[in-house]
Amino acid sequence: MRDDARLGGAAGPEVAGGDGADMTRLLFVEDEPQLLRAMRITLRARGFEVRTALDGRHALSEAASCPPDLVILDLGLPDMDGVEVIQGLRAWTGVPIIVLSGRASGHDKVAALDAGADDYVTKPFSIDELLARVRAVTRRATSAESVTVVDLGRYRIDLGEKRISSRDSADADADADAGSGHEDPSATGGEDKPDGPRLTPTEWRLLEALVRHPGKLVSHQQLISQVWGPGVADDSSSLRLYINKLRRKLEPDPTRPRYLTTEPGLGYRYQP
């Protein structure tokens, strides 16, 4: 049953600390009042400052008047589609956006991600999963473009210098063991060494598009646009070919990728 009453924003958490320890201001957009109330209570209890909206226009107005640090957004809103809300926000802000929706089709997920969403959680959902996604997008939103050096398994990647070197074996082995459950047999000892694999310009652009956004799901079309340029047709086969080339050069086991992972039908992630 739909309640047409507006649920206004509220200041201050009921419990300090928790998942929103730095007083993250969160805008939660959902047209089901019962879910909205429940999530407002839950998120405040975890330390977030929560503001709410029941429809798209209210969401855009709320975001403009009190800019949030994070938006959680349903797609099925009564006055406009959630993708339009994402596009409206992206016209002026890079705030992280997590879609929380009952739409499970690949088409809806791709549309939301291509519009600028940072992640997509399908209903029904667990609060622990949602909070984990919140922590992930909040962490990576702070300095994605300032990232110049990234550790990927046994390699250290310098994006500015376009240089790949081998890492100290102890650090690389620890990462490989923690992430994939088996030792990396090709790690070598010693200090950083400039003996990593050579990448083509296209491979560098693709790698950079992923590692500058650790943990973020990047859609096929976003990657194609960033690597080959805007307006290029969606050529998933070429993208898949280059992802496989990167895996063969960088992954400890290319058949079981640990760092450059696939979201079937959606895109790829760099998992630190």
In the chain the domains, ranked by start, together with CATH numbers, are 18-142 (3.40.50.2300), 145-270 (1.10.10.10)
Q: Give the tokens for residue 190.
A: 């010693």
DSSP 37-51: HHHHHHHHHTT-EEE
41 touches 10 (CB < 8 A): no
- Name which residue leads in pLDDT, 170 or 28: 28
- Write the Ramachandran bin of 165: left for phi over 0, alpha for psi from -120 to 50, otherwise beta: beta
Per-residue confidence band for 65, with pLDDT thresholds at 50, 70 and 90: confident
Q: Which two tokens stand for residue 140?
A: 């990576």
pLDDT at 6: 32
Listed residue (118, 124, 85) closest to 104, CA to CA? 124
What is the predicted pLDDT for the residue at 92? 78
| First CA to last CA distance, the chain | 43
* pLDDT for the residue numbered 231: 63
Name the more confident of 16 and 168. 168
pLDDT range class, residue 103, cuts 50, 70, 90: confident
Q: For 65-112, what is the HEC assignment?
A: HCCCCEEEECCECCCCEHHHHHHHHHCCCCCCEEEEECCCCHHHHHHH
85: its two tokens = 């809300």
Task: Give me the pLDDT at residue 120, please.
Answer: 93
pLDDT value at position 19? 63
Does the reported pTM lie above 0.75? Answer: no
Quote the pLDDT of residue 137: 85
**CA–CA distance, 156 with 188 (Å, rounded to integer):** 13
Which of the given ranges, 124-138, 140-154, 223-237, has the highest pLDDT on average?
Answer: 124-138
Mean pLDDT confidence for 259-267: 90
pLDDT 10s digits, 17-39: 456 545 589 999 999 999 999 99
Spatial distance between the Cα atoms of 7 and 29, rounded to a whole number of angstroms? 10
- Provide the pLDDT for residue 172: 52
What is the residue-averaged pLDDT of the chain?
80
List pLDDT tens digits, range 216-259: 888 888 888 778 876 666 778 889 999 999 999 999 999 999 99
Q: Which pLDDT band holds residue 14 (cuts at 50, 70, 90)?
A: very low
Yes or no: say if 267 and 113 are a contact pair by the CB < 8 Å rule: yes
Mean pLDDT to the nearest integer, 58-69: 89
* pLDDT confidence of residue 129: 93
pLDDT for residue 237: 85
Beta bridge partners of 51: 27
Q: Are strands 70-73 and 97-101 parallel, antiparallel or unpaired?
A: parallel
